[in-house]
Amino acid sequence: MKIFQRHFFETVELDLGETEFVYTLKSAGSKNKFSVDYIDFDPTVQSEMEESNPWWRNVGVAWIALGMISTGLRLAGEEGFRVSLWFYLGLACLAVYRFGRTSFTRHSIGNEGRIVLINNGKIESILRELTSRRRGRLREVFGEIDFEADPAREIARFEWLKKEGALTDTEAAEKILAVREANEDMPEKALTDVN
């Protein structure tokens, strides 16, 4: 499944696979592409940012100044008052700068960095899909009981999976009960203490 987001000069593409997604960000003159395991994706918004290309502002201000000078020279000359084309082009560039801003949300991807998603009408459905796939991946990798492992750590892992939404309360309780039953000879305190 592929998801595309586009806003003016920014494009985000997500190619959703079984265990990971390929993230691509294209902006004016640059492209960044890498793979992210669903487990590493943090669906909570770390921050929001807004980006616009300052080139449009700089050129707009320069062309408005050129247009004002040109209009002044025409007014001082014999041509009379006529606004220069440069002035209008400068206004158009400032409009592109003002209305061409792109709003992003930043999301952590493990300890390696972050991705940005365009904050538009599709952001909620994209986050729901990524969160759903993340929960499924967490269940796949961490959802089975390892009876050879430390029981307290197993219990902590199932509590964590419940907190992450990968297990329901009932599923987590069943797995924790199974760990406790398999380790009945251990004191209750040892089964709840995790270092």
Residue found by looking up tokens 């760990």 in the block = 179
Given this model, what pLDDT does residue 193 score? 52
Q: Residue 79 pLDDT more than 80? A: no
Residue found by looking up tokens 């390929």 in the block = 22
Question: Encoding tokens for residue 57?
Answer: 């502002």
- For 60-75, write each residue's pLDDT tens digit: 999 999 989 888 888 7
Question: For the residues 97-101, what does the mean pLDDT come to?
Answer: 81
Stated pTM of the model: 0.70
Q: Cα–Cα distance between 80 and 101 in angstroms, integer?
A: 38
Q: Model confidence at 160, in pLDDT bands (50, 70, 90)?
A: very high
Q: Residue 84 pLDDT more than 90? A: no
Given this model, what pLDDT does residue 187 score? 58
Residue 34 carries which side chain, given as an amino acid letter? F
Given this model, what pLDDT does residue 172 score? 92
Given this model, what pLDDT does residue 173 score? 92
Q: Model confidence at 195, in pLDDT bands (50, 70, 90)?
A: very low
Question: For the residues 164-176, what does the mean pLDDT come to?
Answer: 92
Task: Please name the residues in contact with 104: beta carbons below 8 A apart, sequence gap of 6 or more.
Answer: 10, 48, 49, 50, 51, 116, 117, 118, 119
- For 127-159, write each residue's pLDDT tens digit: 999 999 999 999 999 999 888 889 999 999 999
Q: Model confidence at 82, in pLDDT bands (50, 70, 90)?
A: confident
Q: Cα–Cα distance between 73 and 61 in angstroms, integer?
A: 18
Q: Residue 124 pLDDT more than 60? A: yes
% of the chain at pLDDT higher than 90: 41
Residue 96 carries which side chain, given as an amino acid letter? V
- For 29-38, write each residue's pLDDT tens digit: 889 899 999 9
Say which DSSP state 64 is in. Answer: H
Question: For the residues 149-174, what does the mean pLDDT come to?
Answer: 92
